[in-house]
Structure 1
Amino acid sequence: MEENFPLNVAVTGEYGSGKSTFVNAIRGVDNMDERAAPTGSVGITEDVTPYSHPNYPHVTFWDLPGVGTTNYPAAEYVKLVELERFDFFVIISADRLRESDVKLAKEIQKMGKRFYYVRSKIDNNVRDKEGKQRGFDAERTLTQIRENCIQGLQEQGLRSPQVFLVSSIDPNLFDFPLLAEILKRKLPELKRDAFLLAMPNTSLEMIDRKKEAFKSKIKYVAGLSAAVAAAPVHGLSIAFDLVLLVGVFTRYVFGFGLNTSSLRRVSRYTCVPYVELRSAITPSLTVKKVTPVLVLKTLFQTVSIVKLMTGYRFIPMLGIPLSMAFSCFTTYKALNILLNVLADDARRVFRKALD
């Protein structure tokens, strides 16, 4: 499962670049949340600080101090920060390319790892230019900023730099969704789903990709259900399947951001009342905790089929093979039903948040 593969993402940039706000946004955490990285005048990063994803603790975003600070001089930065332990790097800048950013990017490329240059607070740049230019064209302005950043990095000898223009205040705008997709693609295969599921729902396409990631694992869960069904113990398979379904269902809820804390964070970001977001979810699923009763309610017809399985278990010769087949089939069908219901709920919540 994706939770078995730790993922370490380094985020660096000078003070005031919006680094901590980005760390919060990419984790889907509001700046006022108790788990948020400190921002504003109190948000000076003096040491390497880890921030785990609230729903996926194996995914950690590391807030790095800037290159050349008192505790992290440029000559010793790579050694002190231990850059080799990170899977990839995000370099944040709020205005122009800094010498310290270039030095760090070169060190990262020397290690054979990737960095992504993020121009933050792009909403402020667009708003400022809009007020100063006649015939303002937002797309042309964004293209010009992006090209200037790429040219500046290339002039410093950096190969094939990738530049993203983002607003951490509203992750649905500009290049934030594209950044999340690119980061996922570039990861080793075993870590892609871990990163994908930890991302906030920045688009309907993101929700669809999460659904596909979950769906690809259903066959393995169904296989585990079939293996347990081979044990000739009355009632064991049904009990195990319910526990299994509750666990997977819970992962779906958190992966799609439909748990209470995630919905409240979306409410704070979008200013859409929490109760309105909650109203977009299937009524029977608006509970704080996933339980066997909730699973039974959602899967009443499927569970009735599961109950028939126990009758086959003790038929000589055919009981166990038939029980294994039924257990595999019903678990596979049940998880697909649950996945479809929650993916639809996630789409409705996303649309409601944009209203």
Structure 2
Amino acid sequence: MADQYEEGIKAALQNRDLAKAAEMAQKYLDKSYNVRVNIGITGESGSGKSTLVNALRGIKNKTEGAAKTGVKETTTERTEYPHPKNNNIRIWDLPGIGTVKFTADKYIKEMEFEKYDFFIIVSNDRFRENDAKLAKEIQKMNKKFYFVRSKIDQNITSEKEEDPNTKEEKVLKEVKNYCTEELKKLDFESPKIFLVSGFRLPLYEFNDLWKTLEEDLPKHQRDVLLLALPNISLDVIEQKKETLASRIKWLTVTSVAGAAVLVPGFSCAVDIQIILGFAVYCVVSLGLTHNLLQKLSDVSGVSLEDLKAEIKSPLAGTEITKDLIIKFLASSATVLGEMAIEEGLRFVPIIGTLVAMSLSGVATYSVLTYILNSLTEDAQQVFKRSVG
């Protein structure tokens, strides 16, 4: 998708048509912001589906907006949950097939399996015949599915209560081998199984699940899902930084086009709106809004005050307004000036000589890069504090 737009922008710049270049850059950004992802979470009754739905959304069980959880099956019909970071991501909590009165193929039709981009099949024990039937039906549709063995933290705790010398690695290996053997009996030769705790996603194998999704999903869906994902590791935060950084060049093109309009103050107004929008997008993607920090506090058990103590950027943990952006730019003028000189010497390759001459473009590129770097550092520190 990006290559098509890059070629169009280069052609427009060669013709000195900045308005056309800006239009194409904005179209690309609009498309990248509006990619839809539908995730189906299914499995037997009581397997931990709803807890996983909540974990993927960064929400603690039994809090506002959380999927209902309990010892009994609480999902009797499919329920759609929007992701709090991105309304275009929908996570569907599907009833366990063992709780409905129709066969696997009818279940597939009733649950509208064709609408989901991929599936996570959850079990808190071993994967059974119903799980295998669902997986095989999904295979027929040429869609991806992943087996998640949930509540692995409970297994480790239980084993250590019996024998305090039990090694965590030993428990994980035994559970993985057991699940693999059971699925082999159900005709899955090399199943992908991930051991997960819905209460502590950074632990165990959720990061491995994400790496697998990275390989399997189309790039545009992968990027959208990545930016909505809870910060499960420092590597994921770094990936978010790279993805956000890739959007800076597109925003810079729109900044340069604004500078070409010969109306006093117009270019400055455009740049402030670009910076404001990007700062908000970064803060949300990196989990640094007040509400997202509160959710992280709920999930991790670390107080909101302790998490906020790790933050240095004035743009994190607060409402970002136009006035705040102006104040931020004024206080960071020296650093940004030095960055602008450096970036002017090695400007974004897509833009070329014509646009590189624009002071507006260089300055905007420098500001956006500075904001992203400082917010990424905050996200890293907050993550370290949240996992203790």
* Same fold per superposition (TM over 0.5): yes
Give, in whole Å, the separation in 1 of the partners of 2:72 and 2:134.
Answer: 24
Q: What residue in structure 1 maps to residue 115 of structure 2?
A: 85
Task: Label 1:71 to 1:292 Cα distance change in 2 as closer, same or farther (>3 A).
Answer: farther
> What pairs with 1:131-142 in structure 2 (closer than 5 Å)?
131-133=161-163, 135-142=165-172
Q: What residue in structure 2 maps to residue 126 of structure 1?
A: 156
Give, in whole Å, the separation in 1 of the partners of 2:47 and 2:120.
Answer: 12
Q: What residue in structure 1 maps to residue 287 of structure 2?
A: 257
Give, in whole Å, the separation in 2 of the partners of 1:336 and 1:159.
Answer: 47
- Scaled by the length of structure 2, the TM-score of the pair is 0.83
Moved more, 323-332 or 269-278: 323-332
Give, in whole Å, the separation in 1 of the partners of 2:68 and 2:382.
Answer: 28
Q: Which amino acid aligns with 1:299?
A: L
Asked if 1:49 is matched to 2:79, the reply is yes
Please say if residues 245 and 335 of structure 1, whose CA atoms lie closer than 8 Å, have aligned partners that are also in contact: yes
Give the unaligned 5+ runs of structure 1: 306-320
Please say if residues 58 and 299 of structure 2, whose CA atoms lie closer than 8 Å, have aligned partners that are also in contact: no
Return the offset for 1:3: 2.3
Moved more, 236-245 or 293-302: 293-302
Asked if 1:342 is matched to 2:375, the reply is yes
Q: Which amino acid aligns with 1:343?
A: T
**Cα deviation per residue 1:310-351 (whole Å; 9 max; x = unaligned)?**
xxxxxxxxxxx7897112111111100000010001011111
Q: What residue in structure 1 maps to residue 270 of structure 2?
A: 240
Give, in whole Å, the separation in 2 of the partners of 1:293 and 1:287.
Answer: 16
What RMSD in Å do the two structures reach over aligned CA positions? 2.2
Q: What residue in structure 1 maps to residue 21 of structure 2?
A: none
Give, in whole Å, the separation in 2 of the partners of 1:142 and 1:54.
Answer: 32
Give, in whole Å, the separation in 2 of the partners of 1:158 and 1:140.
Answer: 24
Moved more, 109-118 or 277-286: 277-286
Give, in whole Å, the separation in 2 of the partners of 1:78 and 1:121.
Answer: 26
- Scaled by the length of structure 1, the TM-score of the pair is 0.90
**Cα deviation per residue 1:151-177 (whole Å; 9 max; x = unaligned)?**
222332225321000111111211122
Q: Which amino acid aligns with 1:150?
A: T
Give, in whole Å, the separation in 1 of the partners of 2:142 and 2:93.
Answer: 21
Work out the number of aligned pairs and report it: 341
Asked if 1:192 is matched to 2:225, the reply is no
Task: Label 1:293 to 1:146 Cα distance change in 2 as closer, same or farther (>3 A).
Answer: same
Q: What residue in structure 2 maps to residue 314 of structure 1?
A: none
Give, in whole Å, the separation in 2 of the partners of 1:231 and 1:302.
Answer: 27
Please say if residues 313 and 375 of structure 2, whose CA atoms lie closer than 8 Å, have aligned partners that are also in contact: no
Give, in whole Å, the separation in 1 of the partners of 2:296 and 2:355.
Answer: 46
> What pairs with 1:169-248 in structure 2 (closer than 5 Å)?
169-248=199-278
Q: Which amino acid aligns with 2:111?
A: V
> What pairs with 1:24-63 in structure 2 (closer than 5 Å)?
24-41=54-71, 44-63=74-93
**Cα deviation per residue 1:73-102 (whole Å; 9 max; x = unaligned)?**
434111111111111000000001121101
Give the unaligned 5+ runs of structure 2: 1-28, 338-353
Give, in whole Å, the separation in 2 of the partners of 1:127 and 1:151.
Answer: 23
Please say if residues 150 and 197 of structure 2, whose CA atoms lie closer than 8 Å, have aligned partners that are also in contact: yes
Task: Label 1:263 to 1:134 Cα distance change in 2 as closer, same or farther (>3 A).
Answer: closer
Return the offset for 1:189: 1.0
Q: Which amino acid aligns with 2:58?
A: G
Give, in whole Å, the separation in 2 of the partners of 1:88 and 1:249.
Answer: 31
Q: What residue in structure 2 maps to residue 14 of structure 1?
A: 44
Give, in whole Å, the separation in 1 of the partners of 2:220 and 2:227.
Answer: 13
Give, in whole Å, the separation in 2 of the partners of 1:303 and 1:126.
Answer: 49
Give, in whole Å, the separation in 2 of the partners of 1:199 and 1:81.
Answer: 25
Task: Label 1:304 to 1:148 Cα distance change in 2 as closer, same or farther (>3 A).
Answer: closer
Give, in whole Å, the separation in 1 of the partners of 2:267 and 2:243.
Answer: 26
Q: What residue in structure 2 maps to residue 4 of structure 1?
A: 34
Q: Which amino acid aligns with 1:170?
A: R
Q: What residue in structure 2 maps to residue 315 of structure 1?
A: none
Q: What residue in structure 2 maps to residue 279 of structure 1?
A: 309
Seq. identity, %: 40
Give, in whole Å, the separation in 1 of the partners of 2:262 and 2:49.
Answer: 57
Return the offset for 1:33: 2.4
Return the offset for 1:297: 2.9
Q: Which amino acid aligns with 2:245?
A: K
Q: What residue in structure 2 maps to residue 332 of structure 1?
A: 365
**Partner SS, residue 40 of structure 1:** coil
**Cα deviation per residue 1:194-253 (whole Å; 9 max; x = unaligned)?**
010111001111111100110011101101111222211111111011011111110000
Please say if residues 39 and 118 of structure 2, whose CA atoms lie closer than 8 Å, have aligned partners that are also in contact: yes
**Partner SS, residue 41 of structure 2:** strand
**Cα deviation per residue 1:18-71 (whole Å; 9 max; x = unaligned)?**
110000001101113211101115761111111111011111111111225335
Q: Which amino acid aligns with 2:287?
A: G
Return the offset for 1:304: 8.4
Task: Label 1:42 to 1:33 Cα distance change in 2 as closer, same or farther (>3 A).
Answer: farther
